[in-house]
Chain A
Amino acid sequence: MDLSLFLQQLLNGISLGSLYALIAIGYTMVYGIIRLINFAHGDILMVSTYFAYFGISVYALPWWLSVIIAILLTALLGILIDLGAYRPVRHAPRISALITAIGVSFLLENLGLVVFGGRPKAFYRPDFLDKTYELGGVHVFSLSIWVPLVTALLLALVFLLLYRTRVGAAMRAVAKDMEMVQLMGIDVNRVISLTFAVGSALAAAGGIMWAMKYPQINPLMGILPGLKAFVAAVIGGIGNIHGAVLGGLLLGTTEILLVAFLPSLAGYRDAFAFVLLILILLFRPTGLAGKDTIG
């Protein structure tokens, strides 16, 4: 394998990895604040792509407007899910919340099948994202540049929110000690609702970027990105936001390099991600970036 081929594969890996990272940010943020592994994250992502799809293809809105509306609607969906599913089990043992999350995930998938139908739909891609540049033998697809940029931007915004605003301070306080925060007269439910809104909006951003890169959406499309983002979040140390980005990039790059160097193992790339998950949980349960969680 010559250098330009290697660079090309590395770029493919970074491009895929930054998508995982983008989705993992929301995953890990919700966990960091309320200690809930939100298994419905991938399915919220799926719903968001349908919101955008309906905006662009059915109501014929400009794509950027549809994306904004989709992100807002998805944030609202996050609040509703928290209200209907997670708030009632807030003080139950943590396993109840986990099982509820799995239930929400199934509910969204099957509602999707009933409402949107099982046949995949084609997703719109704006022209400026549909270009290929050539740089010294390496083909750079314009989306592959935009995805890491969006990831970096959202990462910065999440840090700003958490460490530079009052709401962020409240979120970090909830992460530390929910009961105590309640005693201090802060409306915990509102803080958590907002956390879900932000988490779901991040899922929407990730989902829409995903759908632009792989322009095919269906009601079960959220499962795999959701699982991969979960693995990425655990690799980076779940609850740790920059860890999630690191984990996502690592997972995407190793997956691509595995397929590139060992083509006969290509069918096992998903299995590989989960083997990686098991190894991390066995030998470094706090993840690579360690326990530097929100708070």
Chain B
Amino acid sequence: MQHKIIWLAAVSVFFCICLPFFLPSLSLAGEPIRIGVYLPMTGPVAAFGQMEWAGIQAAHQMRPTVLGRQVELVLVDEKSDRIEAANAVSRLLKKEKVQAIIGSATSSNTMAGAALSEKAKIPMVSPTATLPLVTQNKKYVFRVCFIDSFQGEAAARFAYQNLGARRVAVIVDRAQDYCVGLASYFKKAFTRLGGKVVSMAYCQTGDQDFSAQLTSIPASQPDLLYLPNYYAEDALIARQARELNLNIPILSADGAQAPELIKIGGKAVEGLYLLAHFAPEGAATPLAKEFMKFFKKTRHEETSGFHALGADAYFVLLDAIKRAGRTDGDAIRTALASTRGFGGVSGVIKIGPDGNAVKSAVILQVNGGQFRYLTIVKPW
């Protein structure tokens, strides 16, 4: 009896060890396709990296193969730092020998990595780098999010038309290309509409004290505070504004859509408006519905904007590889550039000139400790 059990155990262990050798030959032909991912998993904007990675992983679980081959993801942390971002991409290109790259979350760091993948002729898709410069004059760099010239204009229209704002104060994180760019697009559009930016103050990523900037603001009598920054700074600015009794409405941007904004901002961010990429209530495509259900089932969490865009970067890339039928850089690049009407998680995506996605934005408002969907802004 005892012998029998031992034999049975031995045979099943042997079978399990051998299984991987048989399986690929049965179901999949050829080598896996390697897709490199570089994202900020640590550091000040870690929330973006971690949410996008969760989205990419879920998308990968949903669609793990293309061209009959397994897809393999290789993740490198870029630590919210642009030098580390360049290192990460060079490692993906040279050591990991990936066929395509997804990343990164912020504009400055994507630009640091994009220069390298452009040179190596390996296509790169960023989920959320919104600064127009990121893809300018680059053949191999794409993105699945809208760009800041659109976002700035949309925010200005919303502020002027829906909120009735005429005098706006802005605090900008000068260390981020994204924030500086967005602030200037907003200012241009808002001035053209007839409004006025009455005060422009600056800070730096990682700053914790904004009392000096905020104290100078009421003198210019603004009726809206525009914060085109990332969530960590925006949450602290909102709190300190309320501590100094500056109680005007706040409008923020896609960089603020992280749960941390609400956790850190608390009561101070109640009523805050922000322009974002995605709202579950506004999602309409079949892929969005399938993904949201799958995400909820496997991760026990609602899909947020950064989950959706991480997933879209993967789905759009996968779609391009499928249409290209090959995995060399130029073939994938050509297929990516001709993406039209792809029903992604965050909406219908068309890759326009310069590799930029053309798509709509949503306006959210923090209400009862949650991001609530207000309205949609279509590209004009």
Contact = CB atoms under 8 A, between A and B. Distances in A.
Note whether A and B form a binding pair: yes
Nearest to B242: A132
B209 A214 contact: yes
Contact of A267 (B44, B47, B175, B219): B175
B243 A141 contact: yes
Q: How large is the interface on B (under 10, 10 to 19, 20 to 34, 35 or more residues)?
A: 35 or more
Nearest to A131: B243
Interface string A209-220: 010011110111
Q: Chain A interface mostly helix, strand, loop or mixed?
A: helix
B231 to A, nearest CB: 9
A118 B260 contact: no
Interface in A225-278: 255-257, 259-260, 263-264, 266-267, 269-270
Given A122-B266, A139-B245, A216-B235, A264 B211 contact: no
B136 interface: no
Interface string B109-153: 000000000000000000000000000000000000000000000
Contacts of B204: 266-267, 269-270
Contact of A266 (B174, B206, B260): B174
Contacts of A13: 212
A12 B44 CA distance: 25
A36 B217 CA distance: 43
Contact of A113 (B42, B44, B174, B201): B42
Interface string B278-309: 00000000000000000000000000000000
Contacts of A97: none
Contact of B50 (A119, A122, A141): A119
B232 interface: yes
Interface string A191-233: 0000000000000000000100111101110001000000000
A15 interface: yes
Contact of A132 (B212, B219, B244): B244
B377 interface: no
Contacts of A99: none
A224 B43 CA distance: 14
Nearest to B262: A122
A263 B202 contact: yes
A292 to B, nearest CB: 30
Contacts of A16: 209, 211
A120 interface: yes
Given A118-B50, A216-B232, A267-B204, A12 B266 contact: no
B378 interface: no
Contact of B211 (A12, A113, A117, A220): A12
B376 interface: no
Contacts of A9: 211-212, 215
B111 to A, nearest CB: 19
Interface string A9-23: 100110110000000
A224 B235 CA distance: 19
A171 B235 CA distance: 43
Contacts of B232: 120, 216
Contact of A5 (B40, B41, B215, B236): B215
Interface of A: 5, 8-9, 12-13, 15-16, 113, 117-122, 132, 134, 139, 141, 210, 213-216, 218-220, 224, 255-257, 259-260, 263-264, 266-267, 269-270
Given A215-B239, A260-B215, 15 more contacts: A5-B219, A12-B212, A118-B43, A132-B243, A132-B244, A213-B208, A216-B232, A216-B260, A220-B43, A224-B206, A256-B209, A259-B213, A264-B202, A266-B202, A267-B203
